[in-house]
Amino acid sequence: MMDYLRKYVLNKEVFVRYDSISEIKKNIVEGYLFLKNKIFVNAYIIKSGLANADIKRRYKYRKKFEQFEKEAKNGKRMDTEYGNKQMEAQSKE
């Protein structure tokens, strides 16, 4: 995951959307990261199999992230079945 973040996110223009449920804990602010071109980074890394959905707490996209994780584990990873264009369309939902 760190390679992806270094290559595609580091030094790029991004914006963060915060979940209405999120809170600040120990200097960590939880949010959803989007690239300037609207790619939903959180969803992309889960769909690519690079990260897992957090199942220990409630948040806006939990069900969607759990589905993405399930698909990635069943071989429908972002890098094999999906493309960036499809991911961009889904990030607009």
pLDDT digits (tens, 9 = 90+) for 10-67: 999 999 998 876 666 777 778 899 999 999 999 999 999 999 999 998 889 999 999 9
Residues ≥6 apart with Cβ < 8 Å to 60? 19, 20, 21, 32
Phi, psi angle pair for 63, to nearest 5°: -60, -40
Q: What is the pLDDT of residue 77?
A: 64
Model confidence band, residue 76 (pLDDT cutoffs 50, 70, 90): confident
Where is pLDDT greater, at 5 or 93?
Answer: 5
* pLDDT the model gives residue 36: 94
Q: Cα(42)–Cα(61) distance, rounded to whole angstroms? A: 10
CB-CB contact of 12 with 39 (8 Å) = no
